């Protein structure tokens, strides 16, 4: 992951207002890792697909902000070493076991150039996103918040954003093509096996369906699943094109 460093930009420092934003993005990353880790162990039960869809949607909102924000150029030409890459084989295997019927899917790697789909695995995509988020958290927890922001943005644009976006589409497909949807009488109840999520018409029926999914997720968190602390807000971050050290 090396490239020439961007030239002609002002170098930002830790005192330029990045700390609050770094804290929010770090919280989003931790929430994703906690949520996906819990789902990989089976805590989501039969609702693993819609719950993963929610986890991926939330972290991609943080990623979209990173990609749309002004570049940040940390001091120095080299990214400090954070040590060995995390071992995510257990996470990957756990997700593959929960997604046995929908782990493999087809996607156009480049939707503007490719004409033939490429085979992907959701378990690989989610592990790839987790690895990049962990790498940034290692910078953040070492007190290098600017490095963390640079890494999260750089890797979103070049790696985990692609995996996350493809996973989002793949996770959405089984939810949107289910032949049934929760009837009004079941909204807000604990009957996922009898009331699968599916396509609905516009207006109140769709809103009822969304409330049912969100209600299930809230109860899952209250029963011991990881709680989420909201979406990233405001600010700008960025910076691409540095060389990794080590």
| Residues 170-188 pLDDT 10s | 999 988 765 444 443 333 3
Task: Judge residue 134's burial from the number of C-beta atoms within 10 Å of its C-beta, 0-12 exposed, 13-18 middle, 19 or more buried.
Answer: middle
Distance from C-alpha of 170 to C-alpha of 130, rounded to nearest angstrom = 17
Helix (H, G, I), strand (E, B) or coil at 99: coil
Q: What is the mean pLDDT of residues 28-56?
A: 96
Residue 244 pLDDT grade (very low, low, confident, very high; cuts 50, 70, 90):
low
Instruction: Provide the whole-model pTM.
Output: 0.69
Residue 79, H or E segment? strand 78-79
pLDDT exceeds 50 at position 80: yes
pLDDT band at residue 109, thresholds of 50, 70 and 90? confident
Say how far apart CA 167 and CA 95 lie, in whole Å.
13
Separation of alpha carbons 77 and 101, rounded Å: 45
Percent of the chain with pLDDT over 70: 65
What is the CB-side half-sphere exposure of residue 175 using CA atoms within 13 A? 20
Taking 50 as the threshold, does the pLDDT of residue 30 lie above it? yes
CA distances from 50 to 104, 163, 204 (A): 16, 17, 20
Local confidence band at 48 (pLDDT 50, 70, 90 cut-offs): very high
For the chain, the domains span 19-177, 180-228
129 has pLDDT over 70 = yes
Closest CA relative to residue 59, chosen from 111, 134, 4: 134
Q: CATH number of 19-177: 3.40.50, 2.40.128, 1.20.120, 1.10.3470?
A: 1.20.120
Considering only CA atoms, give the Rg of the chain: 19
Indicate whether 24 pLDDT > 80.
Answer: yes
Task: Residue 190: name the closest of 33, 4, 46, 2 by CA.
Answer: 46
Mean pLDDT of the chain: 74
Residue 35 CB neighbours (<10 A): 26
- The residues, ordered by sequence, that sit 6+ positions from 15 with a Cβ below 8 Å of its Cβ are none
Residue 18 confidence class, pLDDT cut points 50, 70, 90:
confident
Q: What is the pLDDT of residue 108?
A: 87
> What is the predicted pLDDT for the residue at 61?
93
């Amino acid at each position: 992951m090396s490239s020439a460093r961007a030239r002609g930009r002002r170098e930002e420092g830790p005192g330029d207002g990045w700390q609050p934003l770094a804290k929010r993005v770090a919280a989003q990353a931790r929430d994703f890792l906690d949520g996906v880790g819990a789902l990989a162990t089976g805590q989501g039960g039969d609702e693993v697909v819609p719950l993963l869809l929610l986890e991926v949607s939330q972290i991609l909102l943080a990623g979209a902000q990173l990609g749309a924000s002004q570049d940040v150029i940390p001091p120095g030409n080299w990214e400090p070493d954070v040590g060995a890459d995390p071992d995510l084989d257990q996470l990957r295997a756990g997700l593959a076991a929960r997604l046995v019927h929908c782990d493999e899917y087809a996607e156009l790697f480049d939707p503007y150039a490719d004409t033939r789909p490429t085979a992907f695995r959701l378990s690989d995509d989610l592990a790839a996103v987790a690895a990049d988020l962990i790498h940034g958290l290692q910078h953040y927890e070492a007190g290098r918040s600017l490095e963390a922001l640079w890494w999260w943005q750089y890797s979103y644009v070049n790696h985990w954003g692609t995996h996350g976006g493809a996973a989002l589409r793949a996770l959405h497909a089984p939810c949107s093509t289910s032949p049934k949807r929760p009837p009004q009488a079941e909204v807000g109840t604990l009957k996922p096996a009898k009331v699968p999520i599916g396509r609905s018409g516009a207006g109140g029926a769709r809103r009822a369906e969304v409330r049912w999914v969100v209600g299930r997720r809230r109860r899952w968190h209250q029963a011991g699943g990881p709680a989420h602390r909201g979406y990233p807000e405001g600010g700008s971050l960025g910076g691409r094109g540095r060389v990794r050290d080590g």
